[in-house]
Structure 1
Amino acid sequence: MNDANADRRPRRVWLPATAAVLALVVSGSIALVRHGDAPPKRDYHPTVVRLAVNSREVTAQLDRCWRTARELSTMAKYPDRSEWRPVLAVKGGELWTVTAIRTNGRPLFCETVIGGTTLSSPDADPVYAPGTRTAAMLTTNAGTVAGVVDPSWPDMRVRVVGRYQDDIEGRAVQQDGLFVYPSYLSAVDDRVTVGQDGDPRIPLPPAPQPYGVVNPSYSSSDRSSTAGRHLGDCIAKSGEPDSDGWSPAATVQANDERLILAVNPAGVGACLQQAQGSRFMPYVSRAVSAAKPELLSLTATVGGRQVVAGILPQGAADMRLTLADGTTLDADVDRDTFAALLPLGVTDTHGMTAKLAGNSRQILYVGPLT
């Protein structure tokens, strides 16, 4: 994203809305992921980088956060930029960063994503988890859980439990009494528990109301096609600040239900539309393409059939899947993603293989799909 261009364009101030997240398990830092009552399993995760707080990259993030703070001056009064001391900065993927800051001793957190910036409240006092000195100061739709940590906790763990009982658990990044945990599950409307070592069981009270701006410098995406209209409606209901940045990709549908993968330069999301409503899940993966076909970890069904979906190398045009019993399926391929529906009653993807072809029918890949 080009912040120089962003400054020359009007930006929309927003108060982040709560957003429902359905049964898609997304990538995060080193974590245990649980699907309903199934035993926990270790999930594929992208690289989460801890940045040097005196680096140019962190300085640029602070400058961007300060520009946001100035735009919010009629809603919240933030300390002057000269008083901001970065304590911790964590980066996931190419365009997601959370910076933990102290201003005159008080904590401040800033999350930046491709389409917007979110700041924690400058005036709110911590609401501590029972029996602890740990409190959330910022939780977001993009999955950030950040706040102050009990000084007696050298190894803090966080669990985010979705309303459909999918959860992700991992170790927070800590420094100078502050913590950041990138869950990649919406942490706004879901249950968050914390603890030191072992099993995090202590309920974490909700973070105070954050503030943010949406940056429209990333061009508006397809909303004219059927999939684009469905995706736009889905995102609009979710409170996702990156709404204009997502383009529809591979899609599957059955019995008036559909799953639409969505892409932007930061990663892959998904919209699931079922009888009970539409729900958008940002950043199922922080990768936009892969060296070979890769499955996304999800437990969604469409029309009663299990979805298999993932990311592809650039230039992929056609994909055929073969199940362990020899059954073949043609996947929908679009924008370096794929999606397909397994036959009714089939949920096991072990032994599945893929054949991938490019625009000129050249074979790009033949082998297992994992």
Structure 2
Amino acid sequence: TRVAAGPATAPSGQGARPGQRHRQPRTPVPLPPRAHGPRHNLRQGTPDASSFPRTAWTASYRRALQAAPSEAFGPGDPAGRPELRQALTEYLARARGVRTEPDRIVICSGFAHALRLLFDRGTREGPAAGGVLRGPLGVEAYGLGFHRELFAAAGVRTVPLPLDEHGARVDALGRERAVLLTPAHQFPTGGPLHPERRAAVIDWARTRGAVVLEDDYDGEFRYDRRPVGALQGLDPERVIHVGSVSKSLSPALRLGWMVLPQRYVGPVLAAKGEREAWASVLDQLALADFVTCGAYDRHVRRMRQQYRRRRDRLVAALAARAPHVEVTGIAAGLHAVLRLPPGTERSTVKAARWQGVALDGLAAFRHPQAPTTAGDGLVVGYATPSEHAYEAALEALCEVLPPE
């Protein structure tokens, strides 16, 4: 965050020259409103923090604390608490079609932590030496930049796959050893991976002896139909399924999970270390209770309804005030992509910044070596504002959109 510089003053103990004593201070150079933080935050990736289920979470935390065995307060098992791994086994099978057992689940602090465990070479010895997975790695042509930075830091070369209306062009995969996909809801463009391509990427992994890394970042939030099942259900030995509560509950909890093919469990645990140093054991116990008692399902249902209404309000606002701007992608997730007229993305993002509206242009997510472009667009996080601030955020968004 930049802070506007105030009038220059003499250092402590140093007097001003007589000729300068009565001069008026300079007028500070005006900065965009965002210098003091955005008035309206429409950045993607964050759930409505005001909707966190405090009462239900507190009840689960208390129950878990009272029921926890004494050994739970010792050094944590790097695999994660057995109570949580059992709860996730049952929940993921029911809600996402994941096929697993508790001993194939490893708890982590989120998706970035999972990537580090899988790819970071570090200074390990034994089965995790040199990284659990190796490159080159196929990735979608549009995705999060900090993931690419993480891979680069680990020495992993990424190969961008073109995207079209059916998702990633998995037929472009060749000699890569792994591929990272968001099959339920491509981030950020918003489409699901077509069923034929889901089958094709599994066939590729079997033929090449490769692995598919599935980022199920918002798979529970589908608004027009039942969520698409996890890709892992097609072949548990060729897919690593990664999820977290960052979108469904809160990123502050720092809790995620990896559902691993059996051959990767040992190397991942070796990479993690002898003790749990990342995910709070007490939070793990609380989440296990939260899932088992049904509170997690109730919360997801409530937020699914809330976010669907928000997306509907976004679509309605655009239809009324900017009908030339199209919302693309399926009705799912916590963000939407707005297609803009060609050549207007940069100026629109700049105008939004000046008006105190925080959002991202679609180009910010493009892989530097992507063979094609998805065109001009905005990535709008409709889940981020609190409910009482959402209407004003929509109003501000519509004001900065380019004319037809």
Higher relative contact order (CA 8 A, sep 6+): 2
Q: TM-score, normalised by structure 2?
A: 0.23
- Structure with more strand by fraction: 1
- Structure with more helix by fraction: 2
Q: TM-score, normalised by structure 1?
A: 0.25
